[in-house]
Amino acid sequence: MLKHSSISAADLISPDPHPFKWRMGVKPLNLEQWLLVDQERDTDLEEIGQLIDDYRDEIIYCEPSAYEGCDELSIEVLQHLQQIHDLKTLKIDQQEGQAPIEAIRRVVQEDLCLLERRPEGWTMTACAVAIPTQWDVPSKYGKTLDVIHEPVPRYDTDLSQPMGTFFDRLRPEAPVWRANRTLTDDPNLRLAPQRRHHPMRDDISINNVADRVWLRVEYQTLRRLPQSDVIIFTIRILRQKIASVADHPETLIQLLSSLAKLPSEVRSYKDSTWRHAQLIREWALSTGQATEEELNES
Ligand code: HEM
């Protein structure tokens, strides 16, 4: 029987290489931790259902070629969730005329992307992304991984080739997970793309930054499904206030020193994260949460 998840955002912070380089950063996934269920499930699903009703065209995309993969995904999702005590009788309620990926999205706390191998590369032929972290979802519909990642500086040098090979070689019996991190003053689930370049709010200062800024981690998993041969990419958002991250001093230090190493073009891409990190750094130094030495060393 699966238990409710207790993974926190801070648990998924790991140091970046020095000098900076984007890395694949994939680790073997224990399938028990594929879809995470926690106490917020009902509230999250209600909010996500409302977001889909309000912004369906900006969230849901499904090409007919993806239907077979969606059917296989539905079975996997049900098998996984029905292991949880409260969800034993869970069903996926597919409405007439509704894209199959929408019905699945309504029962999980994760955003979902489905990729198919096409001659031009792995292509996102279906998705249900209701709660993106500052990216423009519709611009990625029907696009390859290389096109999807176009806004990411250094993607072509650091990741394009290893990703292509990795996706081709991903085996159904060897799923993986990885994590991306962002700092934001917006505690909402859905973050609009323009948030990335919003000026820092005037009312956030060194005195309250620990309570006003959140570490937001995307817990991402990748599984290849054996029958339809699609790859399923899930994104689960985990949020934690900086004050609570600071309960784990080593994690806070690791996070701040990794962010301090971002090269200039990545700082511009992760604009608000970079600016929040500067303020958190000042706060950590002024309150003795970290010393200059620790932040420069790790
Ligand atoms: C092993 C697989 C993957 C790796 C290593 C990877 C890597 C990355 C990295 C390094 C970034 C920038 C991170 C940041 O903002 O901190 C990024 C952004 C992004 N990734 Fe991936 N990614 C992977 C798979 C995928 C897949 C399968 C999709 C969707 C089908 C995807 C969609 C995106 C999107 C939409 C962004 C934001 C781009 C934007 O700013 O417009 N990624 N990815």
Three-state SS string over 34-95 comes to CCCCCCCHHHHHHHHHHHHHHHHHHHEEECHHHHHHHHHHHHHHHHHHCCEHHHCCCCCCCC
* CB of 124 shorter than 6 A to ligand 1: yes
**pLDDT the model gives residue 15:** 83
Hey, where are the domains in the chain? 19-189+215-240
The confidence band for 1, taking pLDDT boundaries of 50, 70 and 90, is low
Helix-helix angle 271-286:249-260, to 10 degrees:
130
Burial class (CB in 10 A: 0-12, 13-18, 19+), 204: middle
Tell me how far apart the alpha carbons of residues 130 and 112 are, in angstroms, rounded to a whole number.
9
- Fill in the amino acid letter for 260: A
* CB of 113 shorter than 6 A to ligand 1: yes
Cβ count near 59 (within 10 Å): 24
- Fill in the amino acid letter for 40: E
* CB of 163 shorter than 6 A to ligand 1: yes
Expressed in angstroms and rounded, the spacing between residue 152 Cα and the centre of ligand 1 is 8
Per DSSP, 197 falls in state: G
Expressed in angstroms and rounded, the spacing between residue 114 Cα and the centre of ligand 1 is 14
| Beta strand pairing call for 214-224 and 60-62 | unpaired
How many residues comprise the chain?
298
Is there a contact between 27 and 175 (Cβ–Cβ < 8 Å)? no
Tell me which residue has its CA closest to atom 1 in ligand 1: 24
What DSSP line would sit under 13-26, residue for residue? --PPPSS-------
* CB of 177 shorter than 6 A to ligand 1: no
**pLDDT the model gives residue 297:** 73
* CB of 26 shorter than 6 A to ligand 1: yes
Is there a contact between 37 and 88 (Cβ–Cβ < 8 Å)? no
Cβ count near 234 (within 10 Å): 23
**pLDDT the model gives residue 197:** 79
Report pLDDT digits (tens) over 101-121: 999 999 999 999 999 999 999
Name the token pair of 96. Answer: 């007439």
Report pLDDT digits (tens) over 36-49: 999 999 999 999 99
Q: What percent of the chain has pLDDT over 90?
A: 90
| Beta strand pairing call for 214-224 and 176-184 | antiparallel
* CB of 183 shorter than 6 A to ligand 1: no
Q: Please state the rounded mean pLDDT for residues 225-251.
A: 97
Tell me how far apart the alpha carbons of residues 173 and 168 are, in angstroms, rounded to a whole number.
14
* CB of 223 shorter than 6 A to ligand 1: no
**pLDDT the model gives residue 95:** 92
Inform me whether the pLDDT recorded for 193 exceeds 90: no
Tell me which residue has its CA closest to atom 4 in ligand 1: 24
Residues 6+ apart with CB under 8 A from 266: 20, 153, 154
